[in-house]
Amino acid sequence: MHRRNTEIFKNPIHLIRPLTVDPNRRLERRKNNDVKTNERRPKTSGIETTNTHTSDFQSSSTSTNFSFASDEDYDTDLEDDINQHRDRSCIGMYKYICKYEQIVPVGQYLKHYDQKELLMRYYGLGSRGMRAFLPSLTINTYITKLDLTSNGLGDKGVIYLSQILRDNIAIVDVNLSQNFISIDGTRQLCDMFKDNVTINHLKLEGNLLDDECARLLAELISSTGQLYTLNLAKNKLGSASGIFLGQAIAENTTMESLDLSWNSINGKGAVALIKGIQENIFLKILNLAHNGLSGAECGRAWFNAFKENTTLVELDISYNRLTTEPVTYIGRGLAKNENLQIIRLTGNPLESAGCYAILKPLIGKDAISNKLELIDLTEIRLNSDCQELYLQVKSQRPELHILIGVRIPSPLLKDHHHSPPSPIERLRTLFQRRPEINLSIFFYSIATGNDNISDNRITDHAQLKQAIQEKLNVQFSDADIDKILKEISQFDCKKFIQTFDNKPSTTSLLSSWRFKR
């Protein structure tokens, strides 16, 4: 076999190859290669490398010009050929980055990268896992809704995500709830909106946002015209946040839904926030539950807001420590508002007087026709006068639903709450706690019957109640005693002892002896 392209010399490292590549170009390519890639390859000495690229040799067997080339140069050429055929798609780039960074790829992304909605909740990505999505998610044009709830991104992870969202043109809805985002992450998100023009829905629930973060978000709300929904619930927003956000809400012209529940907005901040709502003409859904919007000043601010605001459709001010005084203004404002459909006041210490102040203006002479459909007054006790007013309002306005009384738990919650034990089960538990009581003596002390002892039964109501009180030091009601008698009236002594067995079993005795030290 003729060896036209290669000839072996004394030094086996050096090969003779055709001069198909300019040596100077090969030198430049070696300098531009990745340092980490070159470190993995065997190195030759500086003298050998110099000789390799400077010496030419005329082969005696052929007239072709040859040059010495090390196996290092040969590998570099092969890698360039491989890089040309690397998968440049979003999923191929993600796999390559994960392999390079030694990160386990997220299977959820591999399966659903070409769908509209990507749910990656509770995957624990962290900042390092988020960085792996940089090239892939940036060029992804399929995903429009991105949910990264509870992934521990932190501020550093949000910085990487902001770089992705700057150039992404498909994502519209972003959920970053419970990711420990604070001031640095908030600043990066707000800067990202200067370049991004597609995101309309942003959820930042359950993070570490404080008043300084609220100042940055207020600038975003007042300046951008692309946010339709914003969720800032369960953060650390205080009174200063209410001042910042109130001014921003008054200037905003696009937002339709805002959630500020489970924060600490109160005092002057609460009043400023309500005044911002008064001037806003686009907001439709507002959730302010679990804050501190109480006091007479807040009540007067709500009265003015209800009179002037013509767009708000749903309002939730539950659990805000509202008393009768501010609610009086709210009731008068509801009678003047035309567009509000749902208002929730559950869990406030209104009592009957506060509920009366809400319902009475709705059927007064000054009341105007409105679209009010639901008033939630659950978890508030009503007296007889207020209940009569409730029936009167219901008869005059049948389209209005008023929720009163205790809120019924959902079926899922019912399964977790066990029903109270029956009287017979309570009596069995009491006997088990008193193993020193002789059940046989207890039975015959209150049993009545014929001369035959085996026919004795417990049938006397007073004797059973007295015996339980004396022996067990517990008092049952007459209704409970009747229920117990109904079940044990046909028991003989043997059946009674089997039912209320209060002696520890052999297994429990052995286990207690075995593990006793």
**For residues 180-207, average pLDDT:** 96
What is the C-alpha to C-alpha distance for residues 240 and 211, in angstroms, rounded to an integer?
A: 6
- pLDDT band of 510, cuts 50, 70, 90: very low
Q: Between 156 and 66, whose confidence is greater? A: 156
% of the chain at pLDDT higher than 70: 76
pLDDT of residue 458: 87
- DSSP string for 416-431: HSPPPPPHHHHHHHHH
Q: Between 172 and 515, whose confidence is greater? A: 172
327 exposed, middle or buried (CB, 10 Å; 0-12, 13-18, 19+)?
Answer: buried
Type of residue at 340: L
**For residues 323-341, average pLDDT:** 93
Q: pLDDT tens, 419-445?
A: 678 888 888 888 888 888 888 888 888
pTM of the model: 0.66
Q: pLDDT tens, 146-190?
A: 999 999 999 999 999 999 999 999 999 999 999 999 999 999 999
Question: Has residue 81 got a pLDDT over 50?
Answer: no
Q: Between 58 and 410, whose confidence is greater? A: 410
Looking at every residue in the chain, the average pLDDT score rounds to: 81
- Strand order of the sheet with strand 401-403? 117-119, 145-147, 173-175, 201-203, 229-231, 257-259, 285-287, 314-316, 342-344, 374-376, 401-403
Distances (CA, A) of 96 to 88, 126, 128: 10, 19, 15
pLDDT of residue 67: 42
Question: Has residue 103 got a pLDDT over 80?
Answer: yes
Q: Which CATH architecture has domain 87-193?
A: Alpha-Beta Horseshoe (3.80)
Helix (H) or strand (E) run with residue 296 in it: helix 296-308
Question: Has residue 237 got a pLDDT over 90?
Answer: yes
pLDDT of residue 427: 87
Task: Tell me the domain boundaries of the chain.
Answer: 15-84, 87-193, 423-514
| The most confident of 270-279, 375-384, 466-475, by mean pLDDT | 270-279
Q: Are strands 65-69 and 15-18 parallel, antiparallel or unpaired?
A: antiparallel
pLDDT of residue 448: 73
pLDDT of residue 512: 41
**For residues 254-280, average pLDDT:** 96
- pLDDT band of 410, cuts 50, 70, 90: low
